[in-house]
Amino acid sequence: MSLLEAILQKKQRLRSSETLVTLPSGQIYRETLLDGITTVSLVQNVSSPGYVVDTKPDFSVSHILTHLCMGSQDVVQDQALLLQHKITHVLSIGVPAVGLVAEFETLFIEALDLPETDLIPVLEKSIAFIDHARDVQGRVFVHCNAGVSRSASVIIGYLIKEGMSFIHAYQYLKERRKVVNPNEGFISQLKKYEATLKKQNPI
């Protein structure tokens, strides 16, 4: 058997593979490898910036715990409102707070509102920042774009870390901010996060 024949025979034994690729824009492509040839096709053409679109101003501040509040990015545009609610720290998930005065301690964490976004590093940084604010008797305002998915996931993760179950944390938050609705990928990761904490701290 010649080298060329061996290569062709081996190539014929290669299994085809298929991969879905989601871009930050929300477009989903299918990459298919068959007989050594990769083809790309558009599966879903959604004009999405990777977060829940904020269609109208929302200046509501939802108080979750003594040291913890949440809402939309609109709130951080009104510094008088932040001061009115005794906010000292601002945690921005995926959407940076612009123009805040120096008296606010801020942290920006990059995160797209997509199911495949790795939520765990976001949670770890967020929880450390929230705990820091609590330790200095501060109050944190957590926001993303609309205060629906990313910031809600961070709050739920924090409540789980504080000892609540996922279900309890979700219901507790929903009672205080009815519009919260983490994407399915975040919900799955939060449930796994709860399971991991239970293994680390068995009762």
Residue type, 9: Q
Please say if 69 is a catalytic residue: no
Sheet holding 68-71, edge to edge: 62-65, 68-71, 140-143, 89-93, 105-109
Using alpha carbons, select from 107, 118, 183 the residue that is nearest to residue 146.
183
CB 130, CB 79: distance < 8 Å: no
CB 162, CB 123: distance < 8 Å: no
Quick one: angle between helices 150-161 and 184-200, nearest 10?
10
Q: Which of 69, 87, 91, 144 is catalytic?
A: 144
* Residue 89: Cβ within 10 Å count: 23
List, by residue number, the catalytic residues.
144
